[in-house]
Amino acid sequence: MAEKLVIIGNGMAPGRMLEHLLEQAPDRYQVTIFNAEPRVNYDRIMLSPVLSGEKTYEQIVIHGDGWYIAHGITLYKGHKIVAIDRAAKTVTSDHGVTESYDKLVIATGSVPFILPLPGKELPGVLTYRDLDDVNAMLLAAQSREKAIVIGGGLLGLEAAAGLAERGMDVTVLHVMPTLMERQLDPAAGYLLQKAVEERGIKVICKANTKAILGEDKVEGVELEDGRVIPATLVVMAVGIRPSVGLAKDAGLAINRGIVVDGGMRTSDGNILALGECAEVGGMVYGLVAPLYEMARVAAAHLAGDSTPAFVHSDTPTKLKVTGIDLYSLGDFADGDDREEIVLRDASAGVYKRLVIKDDRIIGTVLYGDTGDGPWFNDLKKKGSDISEMRETLIFGQAYQGGVPLDPMAAVAALPDDAEICGCNGVCKGKIVSTITGKGLTTLDGVRAHTKASASCGNCTGLVEQLMALTLGDAYNPAAVTPMCGCTDFGHDDVRRLIKAKKLKTIPAVMQELEWKTSCGCAKCRPALNYYLVCDWPDEYADDYQSRFVNERVHANIQKDGTYSVVPRMWGGVTSSSELRAIADVVDRFEIPMVKVTGGQRIDMLGIKKEDLPAVWAELGKAGFVSGQAYAKGLRTVKTCVGSDWCRFGTQDSTGLGIRIEKFMWGSWTPAKVKMAVSGCPRNCAEATCKDVGVICVDSGFEIHFAGAAGLDIKGTEVLGLVRTEDEALEVIAALTQMYREQARYLERIYKWAKRVGVDEVRRQVLDDPDKRRAYFDRFVFSQKFAQVDPWSERVSGKDKHEFRPMASVGFNAAAE
């Protein structure tokens, strides 16, 4: 019978511990988690990008609800443990739930330090530790008024940058002479302050806070020197303390944190502790890398391997503020027993300092150019003698040996045990062996299997260089390829910065991202237009001049300069009146060719451009709308006759296909989207080679996606089975929205799915109902502002496939 493992806390450290434990001993424990927060496990070090708008909460979730269900883990959300009974081996939550344990893991984290100032209890005084704090700051930021951040350390500066991005007038108060004085020397602190102030954030150092002012809410802050700074929001980011109250009440050994040995065991052999609440070797930790090392050790001991032990190692400090690059590691204090090597480049904003003792690096401070940080870290960890490279050491790894190396050669020269990802402790050798051993070709694949660059992301460039080095020409990601010659940014960076900087027009994007051309080109303008439409559907006005000609004129241009027009036939179903209308248009405009398409529609080819407005006017009278055979959007939903007519049909495939097409018509997507619904596994509608396909079976609807039948031939991946039409529609819309939000312009669904991972798509769209519904709701919201207004409700009546005519898509004669 499985032992009972109870975990108090559901942060990053216990989450990583469970990942290791499930790999090593998947059936050993029946796991129960009590989480004081009312949510699943998420990446806390990514809270700053959520605050600034670069990411959403959904994007930083580590383990969604489906993960816990799949592994048989019981998760109590919003349950704070109030008592541990070591004699009875039970824990009790504030909701009255009592659970017994064989092994208990305490991961209660830390609590923010609150300065004992007058006014600290006023509404509008916040701390910065979890998602609730971020949500409170986002609410306060809607006022666009003044904010004060007390504390110029990592968290304080990240909070200040996020609030400034949200439109607040921000002032940082820091008691020390320079920012981040624990991690940076004064020179780097000066450069950091300059960069922060260039973002419009005011910085006051040597600022002793005397009181927070206000009667019923925050009105300002008074300093010891008498200055008063107005504010409606005050964020305290002055440090954290291990949360040890629960362990202390249970009689466990406590110092600054919960005292544990090298195996993360407390003074009670059945209880382990890890994360920010634990004290090992007389030290407590707040950075993620040592917490993940604790997780690895604890998992091994729980799995029965008592060999691993936690070993201290210095962890680099990095600031998660877009556009500010700094790297700090080790001891950089002044002293008579050490020397320093310094490089300054004022024009480039670069500062580098190495602290040397006995011909070995003991400290590193890099600002503006941090690419050699991992190499310097490797030299420090190994205690390498640098005497023979002293003259060129400060210039980095590429300049050693007398001949400058290109960046790829420098990465190749790194030893296999060189640490690439400091957050997760992943070395070069593990990344390379995993790439080759598992045949990985995407960054997301490497992240999934090694965790490298999966946390703060600062090592992403190094990981990509390793992939390029390992895979050669087989690795050529669009993410590191510029969109076009007008910019050095790739598609992913452009999308991220559009949201982070709240850029809502094409000129704004080009100005803020320093486009090299005045108006862009035929490659970047359509992409920017799509990204802006997708990110700001209710604010951005679709720019038809930035669409391809086919989209502007609702027709496909042919090689002779004429156009083809494809009216929409919902699900491939038509009527005698529609066919007569098409025949009349063909006769009136002497259209030379009429062809049935593979998407079950009729294509009229050879139409002169000047006739297009009149052709659409006539088709509109008959109730036709554009088939959007030209569109970067939904093209067709191919159907078979289904259970209405076919003796093998299991469901009404025609009705569902029409319902899907009506619901999704007019939705913009990064590339064309083709769908199909087959009424039985015989698959007459060829649903298993479409972007999205549905196979109707006796028990419901099997959803497929990521197929291709063009230049590439690829069968679909099975997303999963749902029971009802409503569920099928919700899943398909959520899948489409995820694709819309994450794919690069002109990237088909099958390429996007390969890049992000089929399992990740399935996890978000099928396994996590909350995330699926959020995607669905955003899809529905964006449809309000789509190029056309889709109508999803079927009309009841004698003919169950008869639909109310819809307004024709207007043709803009001046669009060319």
Highest mean pLDDT among 313-322, 471-480, 744-753, 799-808: 744-753
What CATH number is associated with residue 721? 3.30.413.10
Q: Which residue in this structure is represented by tokens 């312009």?
A: 745
Q: Is residue 565 part of a domain?
A: yes
Q: Are residues 508 and 563 in the same domain?
A: no
What CATH number is associated with residue 604? 3.90.480.10
Q: Is residue 208 part of a domain?
A: yes
Angstrom distance (rounded) from CA 636 to CA 629? 8
Compare 449 and 36 and report the one with higher pLDDT: 36
Q: Is residue 798 part of a domain?
A: no
Angstrom distance (rounded) from CA 286 to CA 301? 22
Of 324, 284, 787, 356, nearest to 534 (Cα)? 787
With vertex at residue 109, the alpha carbon angle to CA 104 and CA 115, rounded to the nearest 5 degrees, is: 145
Q: One-letter amino acid identity for 790?
A: P
How does residue 483 score in pLDDT terms, banded at 50, 70 and 90? Answer: confident
How far is Cα of residue 490 from the mean position of the Cα atoms in its chain? 16
Please check whether residue 126 is in contact with residue 140, taking contact to mean a CB–CB distance below 8 angstroms. yes
Q: Is residue 366 part of a domain?
A: no
Which pair of structure tokens corresponds to residue 500? 């982070």
Which pair of structure tokens corresponds to residue 4? 């009972």
Which class for 365: exposed (0-12), middle (13-18), buried (19 or more C-beta within 10 A)?
Answer: buried
Angstrom distance (rounded) from CA 166 to CA 563? 47
pLDDT, mean of residues 165-190: 91
Q: Does residue 58 carry a pLDDT above 90? A: no
Which pair of structure tokens corresponds to residue 91? 């824990």
Q: Is residue 520 part of a domain?
A: yes
Q: Are residues 249 and 209 in the same domain?
A: no
Which pair of structure tokens corresponds to residue 558? 């042919």
Please check whether residue 373 is in contact with residue 354, taking contact to mean a CB–CB distance below 8 angstroms. no
Q: Are residues 638 and 778 in the same domain?
A: yes
What are the two backbone dihedrals, phi and then psi, of residue 696, each rounded to the nearest 5 degrees? -80, 130
Contacts of 494 (CB under 8 A, 6+ apart): 483, 487, 509, 513, 527, 528, 531
Compare 134 and 788 and report the one with higher pLDDT: 134
- Condensed to tens digits (0 to 9), the pLDDT of residues 542-553 reads 776 777 767 777
Angstrom distance (rounded) from CA 654 to CA 660? 10
Angstrom distance (rounded) from CA 92 to CA 80? 8
- Condensed to tens digits (0 to 9), the pLDDT of residues 410-452 reads 678 778 877 788 777 788 888 999 999 888 888 878 887 888 8
Q: Are residues 531 and 560 in the same domain?
A: no
Q: Last residue of a domain, which of 621, 648, 674?
A: 621
Contacts of 648 (CB under 8 A, 6+ apart): 679, 680, 682
Contacts of 725 (CB under 8 A, 6+ apart): 656, 659, 701
Q: Are residues 778 and 657 in the same domain?
A: yes
Q: How far is CA 84 from CA 3, 91, 108, 515, in A?
A: 18, 5, 13, 60
Contacts of 795 (CB under 8 A, 6+ apart): 802, 803, 804
Angstrom distance (rounded) from CA 470 to CA 449? 16
Instruction: Give the pLDDT score at 801.
Output: 33
pLDDT, mean of residues 190-195: 91
Which pair of structure tokens corresponds to residue 272? 């382990």
Q: Is residue 500 part of a domain?
A: yes
Q: Is residue 218 part of a domain?
A: yes
Instruction: Give the pLDDT score at 371.
Output: 81
Instruction: Give the pLDDT score at 791.
Output: 24
Q: Are residues 103 and 140 in the same domain?
A: no
Percentage of the residues of the chain whose pLDDT score is greater than 70: 93
Contacts of 243 (CB under 8 A, 6+ apart): 108, 109, 110, 111, 276, 277
Alpha-carbon dihedral sign for residues 146, 148, 152, 155: negative
Q: Which residue in this structure is represented by tokens 């609590």?
A: 111
- Condensed to tens digits (0 to 9), the pLDDT of residues 655-700 reads 999 999 989 887 789 999 999 999 999 899 899 999 999 999 988 9
With vertex at residue 400, the alpha carbon angle to CA 399 and CA 401, rounded to the nearest 5 degrees, is: 120
Helix axes 769-783, 725-742, angle to 10 degrees: 80
Q: Judging by DSSP bridges, how do beta strands 326-330 and 61-63 pair with one another?
A: unpaired
Instruction: Give the pLDDT score at 796.
Output: 29
Q: Does residue 308 carry a pLDDT above 90? A: yes
Instruction: Give the pLDDT score at 583.
Output: 95
How far is Cα of residue 150 from the mean position of the Cα atoms in its chain? 29
Q: Where are the alpha helices (DSSP H) in 303-441?
A: 373-382, 407-413, 428-438
Q: Are residues 611 and 654 in the same domain?
A: no
Q: Are residues 228 and 290 in the same domain?
A: no
**Phi-psi map region of 320: left, alpha, beta (phi>0 left; psi -120 to 50 alpha):** beta
Q: How far is CA 777 from CA 499, 658, 743, in A?
A: 19, 21, 19
Q: What is the dihedral of CA 633, 636, 637, 640, to 10 degrees?
A: -170
**Terminal-residue alpha carbon distance, the chain:** 73
Q: Is residue 342 part of a domain?
A: no
How does residue 254 score in pLDDT terms, banded at 50, 70 and 90? Answer: very high
Q: Are residues 561 and 609 in the same domain?
A: yes
pLDDT, mean of residues 197-202: 92
Contacts of 786 (CB under 8 A, 6+ apart): 537, 666, 667, 668
Instruction: Give the pLDDT score at 654.
Output: 92
Q: How far is CA 441 from CA 419, 461, 477, 708, in A?
A: 21, 15, 9, 19
Instruction: Give the pLDDT score at 443.
Output: 82
The overall average pLDDT reported for the chain is 87
Q: Are residues 132 and 173 in the same domain?
A: yes
Classified as helix, coil or strand, 691 is: coil
Instruction: Give the pLDDT score at 549.
Output: 67
Q: Judging by DSSP bridges, how do beta strands 169-174 and 202-205 pair with one another?
A: parallel
**Helix H or strand E segment including 778:** helix 769-783
Q: Does residue 270 carry a pLDDT above 80? A: yes
Classified as helix, coil or strand, 394 is: helix
Instruction: Give the pLDDT score at 786.
Output: 66
Compute the radius of gyration of the chain from its Cα atoms.
30
How does residue 289 score in pLDDT terms, banded at 50, 70 and 90? Answer: confident
Angstrom distance (rounded) from CA 240 to CA 242? 7
Q: Which residue in this structure is represented by tokens 């503006």?
A: 368
Contacts of 331 (CB under 8 A, 6+ apart): 355, 362, 363
Angstrom distance (rounded) from CA 7 to CA 84? 12
Q: One-letter amino acid identity for 801?
A: H
Edge-to-edge, what's the strand order for the sheet holding 98-100? 81-85, 90-93, 98-100
How does residue 405 score in pLDDT terms, banded at 50, 70 and 90? Answer: low
Q: Last residue of a domain, which of 238, 260, 289?
A: 238
pLDDT, mean of residues 711-737: 92
- Condensed to tens digits (0 to 9), the pLDDT of residues 548-591 reads 767 777 788 888 889 898 998 988 889 999 999 999 999 999 99
Please write down the HEC assignment for all residues of 485-553: CCCCCCHHHHHHHHHHCCCCCHHHHHHHCCCCCCCCCCCHHHHHHHHHHHHCCCCCCCCHHHCCHHHHH
Instruction: Give the pLDDT score at 812.
Output: 32
Angstrom distance (rounded) from CA 29 to CA 101? 10
Q: Are residues 70 and 88 in the same domain?
A: yes
Give the range of the structural domain holding residue 500, as residue numbers without chain letter. 491-547
Angstrom distance (rounded) from CA 57 to CA 743? 19
Number of structural domains in the chain:
5
DSSP-assigned beta bridge partners for residue 30: 4
**Helix H or strand E segment including 125:** strand 125-127
What CATH number is associated with residue 152? 3.50.50.60
Instruction: Give the pLDDT score at 418.
Output: 79
Compare 198 and 247 and report the one with higher pLDDT: 247
How far is Cα of residue 365 from the mean position of the Cα atoms in its chain? 29
Angstrom distance (rounded) from CA 734 to CA 772? 6
Which pair of structure tokens corresponds to residue 134? 């971020």
Angstrom distance (rounded) from CA 402 to CA 735? 53
Q: Are residues 765 and 650 in the same domain?
A: yes
B/e letters for 486-513, b = 16+ CB within 10 Å, e = fewer, are bbebbbbbbbbbbbbbbbeebeebbeeb
Mean pLDDT lowest among 51-55, 66-70, 116-120: 51-55
DSSP-assigned beta bridge partners for residue 594: 604
**Phi-psi map region of 266: left, alpha, beta (phi>0 left; psi -120 to 50 alpha):** beta
